[in-house]
Amino acid sequence: MEANINMDESLIKNSSQEQFNEDVVVASKDVPVIVDFWAPWCGPCKQLGPALEKCVHEAGGKVRMVKINVDENQILAQQLRIQSIPTVYAFKDGQPVDGFMGSLPESQLKAFIDKLTEGVVMEGALNEKEVMAEAEAMLVEAPEEAANLFSQILAQNDDHPEALGGFVRALIKLEDFDQAEGILTTITEELANHQALVAAANSLKLAREATQLGGDLAGIKAKLDQDPHDHQARFDYATALLGAGQHEQAVEELLVIVRADRAWNEDGARKRLVELFESFGPQDPVTIKGRAKLGSIMFA
């Protein structure tokens, strides 16, 4: 999935001669600042600018970028002896420490930033494992907050499979099926084959099935009541319960099938339970209880 690069004022901003000291010199005492001197008529500037912005975003807050239009800030350009554009200066601890002129390929831009940010620990940096754990814990009761946390990780790495899968599952919890499907249909094949995204895709399939059947919960239950040994009717009832938000009862109905006939529909009830547990997430109480009950049946 391609990164969605926007002008994030916390990382990248336009500045001027009047704001240069505050935006660059003072700011560089906290985190390194790259200054891009450019002009609207400059062809190479149009290539360098977006590439440099992309690299700054990928650095995840370890470096900031300030853009100076030399046509609008000619005195500043003269003071800094800017002879041609694009010119890039790097400031650290209030002083210029590196720079280059002309456009560079992305690999060299990354190397330039890596050198500048070596040893830099950004303030408020995400602890990925902690954020992932918190997001997973929130997925059950607070999917909107969970989506927020997953998106914070994706802002630093938009190809993070576990965070992307979690974000999709949060969208499903919020019943935003179209956006969830939109993400799943635009990711790379490599990402799509990752277990986290396979589970998310299964969750979406289940959610759509459940929504379709959920509207006829009473009718499906009536059919099951006529013949409690009709495993297909019970399977459909479990799916309808899922659509009605009755997750624990859905699991219980599937467990009834597994107890009665493990081989029914080519192990269909057990497979559906596994899909549900992946969809609910490992920390969901329904998953924890359901897995324990399934295990006791399978190994009885």
- For the chain, which residues make up each domain, given as ranges? 12-117, 128-204, 215-298
Phi, psi (rounded to 5 degrees) for 79: -60, -35
| Kind plus residue range of the DSSP H or E element containing 202 | helix 195-214
- For residue 8, the model assigns a pLDDT of 53
The answer to whether 128-204 and 215-298 have equal CATH topology is yes
Q: How confident is the model at residue 237 (pLDDT cuts 50, 70, 90)?
A: very high
24, 42, 132, 201: which one is catalytic?
Answer: 42
The mean per-residue pLDDT over the stretch 120-134 comes to 69
pLDDT, tens only, 207-226? 998 888 877 888 999 999 99
Q: In whole numbers, what is the pLDDT of the chain averaged over residues?
A: 88
Under CATH, which architecture does the 128-204 domain have?
Answer: Alpha Horseshoe (1.25)
Q: Strands 87-92 and 33-38, how do they pair?
A: antiparallel
pLDDT, tens only, 155-205? 777 888 999 999 999 999 899 999 999 999 999 999 999 989 988 998 899
Would the pLDDT of 105 be above 50? yes
pTM: 0.54
**Catalytic annotation present for 45:** yes
**Catalytic annotation present for 55:** no
Q: Domain 12-117 is classified in which CATH homologous superfamily? A: Glutaredoxin (3.40.30.10)
The SS3 call for residue 257 is helix
27, 45, 163, 196: which one is catalytic?
Answer: 45
